[in-house]
Amino acid sequence: MKTHKVEQLIIATVGFFWCFLMWFATAAFSPSIADRYGLSVAALGLLASSALWMAPIGRIVAGWTADRFGAPRTFAVILGVCGVVSIASGFTTNYTLLFIERVIVAIAGVSFVVGIQHVAQWFDNDEIGTAEGLYAGTGNVGAGVGALLLPRLFGLDYQGAFISLGIGALVIAAWYLWRGEAARDHATRDATAKGAADWRGTIFVWSRYIAIALMLAYAMSFGLEIALNSWLSSYFAEGFKAEITTLGFTTVAGVQVAAGTFGAVQSFMAALFRPFAGFMSDTFQKKGWTPLPVVAKTLPYAPRLHWLAIALLLIVLAMLALAAAGMAGLLPVSIVALVALGLFISFGTGGTFALVPLLFPTRPGVAAGFIGGLSCAGGIVYPLIFAGGASMHMGYAYTAIFLFVPFVLFFFWAARHERSPAEHGIGEFKPVSE
Amino acid sequence: MAQQALDKRQPDAWYKYGVAFLFAEMGIALCVCGYALFMAFTGTGGFPGH
């Protein structure tokens, strides 16, 4: 079949965008669902968290499956299964069953690593940054587009939305199978499929302090991004109920539209500014900027470590600002803080993956699976903290102080070595091929 | 060889459109933020939820 790499990029991007749309459609309709089933704030936190339960292990498995069977078949299966269950959830009237079905639909979130692998099989090194930026940014913003548009298109009819999204997923799955090609040539494909699973290399990467630090950095950025995707609609609907009502949004449908619009800013900023973050990491590298104490200054990629550390500090500050704006009841200030938080999250996500191939040049796949997969666990924990306190607003401050500050301190500690940070880890284990 | 290396550094035709698309997306993100802020002040941007 005659195809072109741009066609493959478009297929992967559309598939990933739709997966993100399905993944966070539950969150976009959380006010409707809460109204219909009488859910408490804690129950909304659990619903938001449940969207992420399948991500950590699912992403690691999906990466291996894509290598073994090819991205088109893997992606089509993900879209097909999630599409069918999404349609089924549109006919469900029991909340427990709906909850279970939406957890299954959330498997769509694992598609990220499949598309990353697909794009990497088609583009050369000198284009891969832009290609992956287009794929990841455009796909990730599916969450924001869903929060912004789904309540406007479907109103309270979340069931109709789930059915429509499921049908769309089946159509895209068929398209992916029809036009998708796993790699640009047989040699590339065979080399990937035959790549033996090296468990010694996996243990080596997983036990390195700097890999753990990057995983925590990604949990602070991407983990937080997906947690907020599933949480913010509920947060604005409940936490700023009086302010939103004062603005004239008095019905459940109106509150849903307003809450979705306010929450969408985070997704748009975090997703679409991610390539800019990679550009900033490159700028730090070119200029040789190493302004922070403790963090290594002489490593070849030291400026990139400093850029990521700055991003992590900014995330902590933005989380505290978001909590303060919420406690003060200042809706516009809260949105400005959220815009800043989204931007800083993009700095963190882009900054982390600008470092992964440099720190683990011989095992980028294993490192990406560990860092990109396990970090999603953060997205499971954060909504529970956001919803668990006496005040919805203080959840951001608790998360920043009790989780993020220790994460940042660990990053500084792990990134202090002036020679080969990857040599330092738990035990003296080292794979033969390293 | 040198010519090959030079050719390799020349990006494909799609590349400039890809970069332009990335910048357009950043513009869209800023527009959404502006729209959300406008709505937070005026409450009139939420059609049909208003």
Cα torsion for A396, A398, A400, A403, to the nearest 10°?
A: -130
What gap in Å lies between CA A224 and CA A49, rounded to an integer?
A: 11
Q: What confidence score (pLDDT) does residue A341 get?
A: 97
A331 CB neighbours in chain B (<8 A) are 40
Q: Which contiguous run of DSSP H or E holds residue A252?
A: helix A252-272
pTM recorded for the entire structure: 0.87
CB pair distance less than 8 Å for A257 and B49: yes
pLDDT given at position B9: 61
User: What is the reported pLDDT for A123?
Assistant: 83
pLDDT at position B44 is 59
Mean pLDDT of A326-352: 95
Give CA separation, A28 vs A149, A152, A196, A225, A362, in Å. Answer: 9, 10, 41, 15, 41
Is cis: bond before A406, omega within 30 of 0? no
Across A280-292, average pLDDT? 89
Closest CA to A229 of A260, A189, A205, A255: A260
Q: Is-contact A48 A234, C-beta < 8 A?
A: yes
- Exposure of A7 in the CB half-sphere (CA atoms within 13 A): 14
> Confidence band (pLDDT; 50, 70, 90) for B50?
very low
Q: What is the reported pLDDT for B48?
A: 46
What band does A429 get if pLDDT is binned at 50, 70 and 90?
A: low
- End-to-end alpha-carbon separation of chain B, Å? 65
Whether B34 and chain A come into contact, CB under 8 Å, resolves to no
CA separation, residue A112 to residues A62, A351, A397 (Å): 9, 18, 29
Give B11 or A97, the one with higher predicted confidence: A97
pLDDT interval class at A280 (50, 70, 90)? confident
Determine the 3-state secondary structure of B1 from DSSP.
Answer: coil
Q: What is the mean pLDDT of residues A341-345?
A: 97
Sign of CA dihedral A181, A186, A192, A194: positive
pLDDT bracket for residue A354 (50, 70, 90): confident
Going by pLDDT thresholds of 50, 70 and 90, the confidence category of residue A197 is: low
The span from the CA of A203 to the CA of A215, in Å, is 15
Distance, CA of B20 to CA of A125 (rounded, Å)? 19
Identify how many contiguous H helices and E strands chain B contains and give both numbers.
2, 0
- % of chain A exceeding 90 in pLDDT: 53
Q: What pLDDT score was predicted for residue A430?
A: 59
**Predicted local distance difference test score (pLDDT) of residue A428:** 65
The per-residue pLDDT for range A236-259, each reduced to its tens digit, is: 999 999 999 988 888 888 898 899
Q: Percentage of residues in chain A with pLDDT exceeding 70?
A: 95
**For A6, nearest residue in chain B (alpha carbons):** B14
Beta bridge partners of A208: A425
A350 or A339, higher pLDDT: A339
Give residue for tokens 């969150």: A27
* Contact yes or no for B29 and A272 at CB 8 A: yes
Which residue type sits at A303?
P
Instruction: Please report the pLDDT score of residue A434 as a whole number.
Output: 45
- A256: Cβ–Cβ under 8 A, 6 or more apart, which residues? A28, A29, A31, A32, A151, A156, A233, A237, B49
Per-residue pLDDT reduced to its tens digit, B4-46: 544 456 778 888 888 898 899 999 999 999 999 999 888 855 4
Cα A105 to Cα A197: distance, rounded to the nearest angstrom: 28
Phi/psi zone of residue A431: left (φ > 0), alpha (ψ -120 to 50 degrees), beta?
Answer: beta
Closest alpha carbon within chain B to A265: B33
Say which residue, A425 or A211, is predicted with more confidence: A211
Mutate which: B6, B9, B16, B26, vs A, most A CBs within 10 A: B26
Rounded to an integer, the average pLDDT of A174-192 is 83
List the single residue in B with minimal CA-CA distance to A330. Answer: B40
Which pLDDT belongs to residue B15? 84
Question: Is the CB of A261 less than 8 angstroms away from the CB of B35?
Answer: yes
Confidence tier at A268 by pLDDT (50, 70, 90): very high
Q: DSSP label at B50?
A: -
Q: Read off the pLDDT of residues A289-303 as tens digits, 9 standing for 90 and up.
A: 999 999 999 988 899
Q: Is the pLDDT of residue A64 over 80?
A: no
CB A256 within 8 A of CB A237: yes
pLDDT at A297: 93
- Point out the residue among A126, A134, A335 whose CB comes nearest to the CB of B18: A134
Those residues of chain A whose CB sits closer than 8 Å to some CB in chain B are 5-6, 124, 126-127, 130-131, 133-134, 137-138, 141, 144, 148, 151-152, 155, 246-249, 251, 253-258, 261-262, 264-265, 268-269, 271-273, 275-276, 331-332, 335-336, 339
Question: Beta partners for A425?
Answer: A208
Using CB atoms, which residue from A138, A249, A271 is nearest to B49? A249
Residue A10 C-alpha, separation from nearest chain B C-alpha, in angstroms: 11
Report the range out of A10-24, A29-43, A369-383, A411-425 with the highest average pLDDT. Answer: A10-24
Q: Which chain B residues touch A152 with a CB distance below 8 Å?
A: 47-49
Is the CB of residue A109 less than 8 Å from the CB of residue A237?
no
How many whole angstroms separate alpha carbon A306 and alpha carbon A153?
44
**Model confidence over A137-175: pLDDT tens digits?**
899 899 999 989 999 999 999 999 999 999 999 999 999
pLDDT score for A54: 83
Mean pLDDT, rounded, of chain A: 88
Which residue in the set B21, B29, B49 is minimally distant from A253, CB to CB? B49
pLDDT of A179 strictly over 80: yes
Enumerate the residues of chain B whose CB falls inside 8 A of the CB of residue A261: 35-36, 39, 45-46
Mean pLDDT of A90-105: 93
Contacts (Cβ under 8 Å, ≥6 apart) of B13: none
How many residues in total does chain A contain?
A: 434
Q: Exposure of A308 by Cβ count < 10 A (0-12 exposed, 13-18 middle, 19+ buried)?
A: buried
Polymer length of chain B = 50
A-interface mutation test, from B21, B32, B37, most A Cβ less than 10 A away = B32
* CA neighbours closer than 13 Å in the CB half-sphere of residue A191: 7
Q: What is the pLDDT of residues A304-336, one digit of tens each?
A: 999 999 999 999 999 999 999 999 999 999 999
